[in-house]
Amino acid sequence: MQKLSALRRAPLRATAFRQYLLVVWSLVLAPLALYAQDLPAGTNLEIRLSTPVGSRISHPGDQVQGTAIAPVSFHGQILVPQGSKLIGSIDGVKRFGFGLKHVTATIRYQFHTLQLPGGNAIPVHTELLEVETAKERVDVDGTVRGIHPAASLSSSLSLATVPLLFVAPTLGVPVTAIKSVLAPSANPEIYFPPGTELIVRLTAPIGVQSAAAKPAGIRSFSAGERVEIERMLKGSAQRTREGTRPSDLVNVLFLGSREQLDRAFHAAGWSQAERKSPLSLYRMYYALTTRVGYRRAPMNTLTLNGVPSDFVYQKSLDTVQKRHHVRLWKDPHQADVWLGAAAEDIAFRFELMHWTHSTSPNIDVERAKVVNDLAFTGCLDAAGLVPRSSPELRQHPKGERVIVTDTDIAVARLNACKAPKTMAGVNTVSGGNSRSRWSREWASLRTDLRINVFFTTYNTVKFLAERRTLKPLRKTPSTDINPPGLDWLSSPPRLPLR
């Protein structure tokens, strides 16, 4: 009887033990598991400043705050959601002033806290890698270095016009006045308005709670939807052309109306490119001369199936040399279907007797930039990566630029997008343009007076003397500094299309 009673109690003890383990898991181990994710050192964060900073307006100790605009995922889980705050302060700043004390203006940030949407504040150690689409460069120690005042076309003209003020004042005064109106000098000071985007890298690992597998409100396409998407792509051209030469690769597909696209891109800080005209050409000339940005700069014509793009969105900061852009073509056979070619301009190059842009070879980074930006606005209903049916990645026989890609196409379907979440700096006036016209003219004239033969000689000698103490520019090219990608689209695993 005792053995029988013991056998009867055994299942009860086993059940009680399992319930005990369940309680331990729910109260102790499960919470620990949520916090067991470590974001490793070397992880890049893409943030957008919500506070203006600059060499003339910032002081050491001033607070700087930015918002994460791209989700950071690790092992299939988003650890840093979009909307997380990165908080820091100005670590050091040097104004250019009259150029007698410093060779260039500089500014340095120190971000120390990551504020998650749930309210958790995590201490972080970071370094600044890049200011996106900016003319300013970043030193190896994370210091932002402004342009040299003579590094512009207008400044070169000043070397000829300013000496006339002393040699022949009657000629020099009107020539300098005309020059200051038609070709004002570049401002050597640093100014980053709200909306400036930075790439920041973690220099030490941090423990972060897993948030989700996808940004809120975005779902995966079903197997049936993916088959339909494959049908849409089948037979369509996937390589754009510039004249007779192959150019950008189609790497995004949008499902939505033109109005939905306009609202989503505008909320994410993108602008539509202007058509080429005498006015746009003058604006381009002005931007090149003074080394400022042109957010709606015209684009070269690319064709898909022999048809020019319907419209172009672009995103830039304070130079016409660099910009994010995506050209879009409406599918002629289907309503609210848009094929897009996203790429990033990183510099100017001279080709076939004219100047054009060089683009980053890693087009998957730009593909991620476009999708992540629209995901931030809350205007995406579903998103996914689908394999390309015919890659069309053959290189041009005369030596076409290299394209680095996994050959997948990002597909995004937009929702109604009635009240999109706007990024910092959208619909605000840049503080760098808040001065009156006369103030800008005086600043340009003051720069011209500094940039003469005597000043240039003095500054060159000073630069050579200080060269040993200057920090070198970061050797890693900007094309290798990749912000967060689309890892969240790869989890859970994608379904095969065949």
Which of 22-26, 174-178, 292-296 shows the lowest per-residue confidence on average (mean pLDDT)?
A: 22-26
Parallel, antiparallel, or unpaired for β 245-249 and 239-242?
antiparallel
- CA–CA gap between residue 469 and residue 95 (Å, rounded): 18
Q: Which of 43, 65, 45 is nearest to 109 (CA)?
A: 65
- pTM summary value: 0.81
- pLDDT band at 431, cuts 50/70/90? very low
Range ranked top by mean pLDDT from 141-155, 263-277, 288-302: 263-277
**pLDDT average, residue stretch 450-456:** 56
Structural domain boundaries, residue 125: 40-148+188-209
More confident residue, 313 or 445: 313
Q: Is 50 exceeded by the pLDDT of residue 33? A: no
Give yes or no: residues 201 and 230 share one domain.
Answer: no
What is the arithmetic mean of pLDDT over 443-472? 58
3-state secondary structure of 452: coil
Please tell me whether residue 34 adopts helix, strand or coil conformation: helix
Q: What is the pLDDT of residue 415?
A: 95
Q: List Cβ neighbours of 141 (8 Å cut-off, separation of 6 or more).
A: 108, 127, 471
6 and 55 housed in the same domain: no
The token pair at 239 is 């390589």
Q: How confident is the model at residue 232 (pLDDT cuts 50, 70, 90)?
A: confident
Instruction: With beta carbons less than 8 A apart as the criterion, state whether 174 and 161 touch.
Output: no
Same domain, 318 and 377: yes
Residue 485 counted as domain residue: no
Q: What letter does residue 431 receive in the DSSP assignment? A: G
* Number of compact structural domains in the chain: 3
The structure tokens 């400022």 sit at 292
Question: Quick check: is 265 in a domain?
Answer: yes
CATH number reported for the structural domain that contains residue 140 in this entry: 2.40.128.260
User: Do 29 and 44 belong together in one domain?
Assistant: no
Question: Is 177 part of a structural domain of the chain?
Answer: no
Whether 100 and 28 share a structural domain: no
Tell me whether residue 158 is in a domain. no
Q: Are 27 and 65 in contact (CB under 8 A)?
A: no
Q: In this structure, what DSSP letter does residue 481 have?
A: -
Query: Residue 231: its pLDDT value, please?
Result: 87
Rounded to the nearest integer, the mean pLDDT of the chain is 79
Query: pLDDT: is 374 or 8 the higher one?
Result: 374
Q: For 42-74, what is each residue's pLDDT tens digit? A: 999 999 999 999 999 999 999 999 999 999 988
Give the residue among 54, 57, 124 at the shortest CA–CA distance from 84: 124
Segment 337-362, tens digit of pLDDT: 999 999 999 887 666 556 677 888 88
Q: 419 and 280, same structural domain?
A: yes
Rounded to the nearest 10 degrees, the angle between the axes of helix 437-450 and helix 169-182 is 120
Helix locations, 27-168, DSSP H: 30-34, 153-167
264 occurs within a structural domain: yes
